[in-house]
Amino acid sequence: MTATVVNRIREWRGATSQMTQQELAQACGVTRQTIIALEAEKYSPSLELAFKLARALGRNLEEVFQYVEKN
Amino acid sequence: MRSAQRLAWVLLIVAGLAAGAAILGPSGRWGGVDIGATGAAIFMLSLVAGIALFATRGEQVFPDHMSVSERRAWVGLAFIAIILSSYFHEMWVLSVRGDFPDDIQDLFANRFMQKLIVPVIAWSLISHLIGSRSGGVESDERDLRLRHRADRAGDWAFTLIVIAGICVLALIPAPLLAWWLSPIVLANLLIGLLIAKSLVEHVALALAYRAGSA
């Protein structure tokens, strides 16, 4: 069994918050490239960054990130 | 490809060829031209042109999707490759001539150290210019994680080279070791070890950024 962290950053950023990747990056104190990597699920953020992202998107942590186990 | 990127590629190729001429042909002449001196002069000019390019159009040199840290990683890789090439050449020249200085104080006065000064200054300036043009966050936790991964690769390379060195020393007869392994030779070999470790770190970092995952 493998587990992975999936996220809905792109969905919440675009559909609800209308933020650009650069704006979200500035709000969280990271580079735009990190937002790109997160949205492509090539990078799992630290807990601190995960909370910052959720707060910047106006969501709860579990609305943005899910821990998914796969067989 | 933007004009600044094309110019950067041209400068990189010219600098590489010039460095090759400076390193491999210090005493060779072609058509009455001192290849080594000409190569060194062109290499210095290309470094100055590179600094000017980064100072005036630095934000256009790399693709937009690259972060400041990634840009610095690629610049660092280019410079460390030049430094390692210069080091190997110096070691080869000194070993062929057999005129390693006897005094450890001569280590920092030898030609390799003198050759290091300009590239290191250019490397520092270009790295600074890359950061000053960004206007945002220069590095974050993802960059640190990638850097940590690259450092581990460098540590592994360091360990493997040291183990290989121990094996070589164990296999060489003691009289032969006493003939060539002077303190100054050992100091130069240790410098090479540090440069090789740095090269592995820069390669690993550049590849990690290229893979786009942490």
Q: What's the pTM? A: 0.81
pLDDT per residue as tens digits for the range B13-26: 998 888 888 777 65
Q: Both ends of chain A: CA-CA distance in Å?
A: 5
**A30–B contact, CB cutoff 8 A:** yes
CB B93 within 8 A of CB B25: no
Can you name the residues that pair with B29 across neighbouring β-strands?
Answer: B34
pLDDT in tens, chain B (214 residues): 778 889 989 998 998 888 888 777 656 666 677 777 888 888 889 888 989 888 888 778 888 888 889 999 999 999 998 888 888 877 777 776 666 666 655 655 566 667 778 888 989 999 998 888 666 788 899 999 999 999 999 999 999 999 999 998 899 888 888 877 877 778 888 888 999 999 999 999 999 998 875 4
Q: What is the pLDDT of residue B16?
A: 86
Chain A contact set for B141 (CB, 8 A) = 30, 34, 45-46, 49
Domain boundaries, chain B: 62-211
Number of residues assigned to chain A = 71
Which of the 8 DSSP states describes residue A15?
I
Q: What is the pLDDT of residue B109?
A: 52
pLDDT per residue as tens digits for the range B61-101: 888 888 889 999 999 999 998 888 888 877 777 776 666 66
* Nearest CA among B149, B161, B168 for reference residue B194: B161
Chain A contact set for B214 (CB, 8 A) = 37, 42-44
CA distances from A60 to A26, A56, B154, B186 (A): 19, 10, 40, 59
ipTM: 0.86
Among B residues 108-127, those touching chain A with beta carbons less than 8 Å apart: none
Q: What is the pLDDT of residue B27?
A: 61
Burial class (CB in 10 A: 0-12, 13-18, 19+), B13: exposed
Interior/surface letters B161-192, b for 16+ CB within 10 angstroms, e for the rest: beeeeeeeeeeeeeeeeeeeeeebeeebeebb
Q: What is the pLDDT of residue B214?
A: 46
* Nearest CA among B81, B82, B125, B89 for reference residue B110: B89
* Nearest CA among B149, B141, B145 for reference residue B200: B149
**A47–B contact, CB cutoff 8 A:** no
**A51–B contact, CB cutoff 8 A:** no
Q: What is the pLDDT of residue B213?
A: 53
Chain B contact set for A24 (CB, 8 A) = none
CB A1 within 8 A of CB A69: yes
User: A29 vs B24, which has greater pLDDT?
Assistant: A29
Q: What distance in Å separates residue A63's CA from the closest CA in chain B?
A: 22
- Residue A15, number of CB atoms within 10 A of its CB: 9
**B62–A contact, CB cutoff 8 A:** no
Which CATH number among 1.10.260.40, 3.30.413.10, 1.10.3720.10, 3.40.50.700 corresponds to the domain A2-63+65-69? 1.10.260.40
Domain boundaries, chain A: 2-63+65-69
Q: Is A46 in Cβ contact with B65 (below 8 Å)?
A: no
